Amino acid sequence: MAAKWIETLTGSLEQKKQYKQYKARVQALPEPYRGAAKAFERYFMYNGGITDGDTLVTMLTDFADLVERAAVDGTPVSDIVGADPVEFAETFTESYGGTKWIDKERARLNKAVQEAEKEQER
């Protein structure tokens, strides 16, 4: 019962556990994969802005799988992400969908414009 109450305040404990596992996996990567993975994670968080915890954890776990496989195979980071790392990161996050912070702001902007239009009609 206490776990449900805590999760109501803090979010899913399972997601937090999965996120910590992801962080440990990235930390265990050899360089330069670790540095690249951390840079991509930072970009995913800023650009992706995914608010759904399940989607975020799935995306990060899949990314860790990709980078770990590349490290094992000795695949250069540039072979994974191509010539444009930004395009790779944006395409990667877009493929996971989910609710994003910007969706909330878009809805807020649309509502404000609709209310302004109603006010002008009066």
Tens digits of residue pLDDT in 34-44 = 999 999 999 99
* 119, two tokens: 């006010």
- Average pLDDT on 38-52 reads 87
Enclosing domain of residue 35? 12-121
List, for residues 54-105, the tens digit of each pLDDT value: 888 999 999 999 999 999 999 999 999 999 999 999 999 989 887 777 888 8
Predicted local confidence at residue 11, as pLDDT: 64
Proportion of the chain in helix, strand, coil states, percent, rounded to 5: 80, 0, 20
Predicted local confidence at residue 4, as pLDDT: 62
Question: How many domains is the chain built from?
Answer: 1
| pTM, two decimal places | 0.77
CATH assignment of the domain containing 43:
1.10.1900.10
- The verdict on residue 6 lying in a domain is no
- The verdict on residue 102 lying in a domain is yes
- The verdict on residue 5 lying in a domain is no
- The verdict on residue 7 lying in a domain is no
- The verdict on residue 16 lying in a domain is yes
48 secondary structure, DSSP code? I
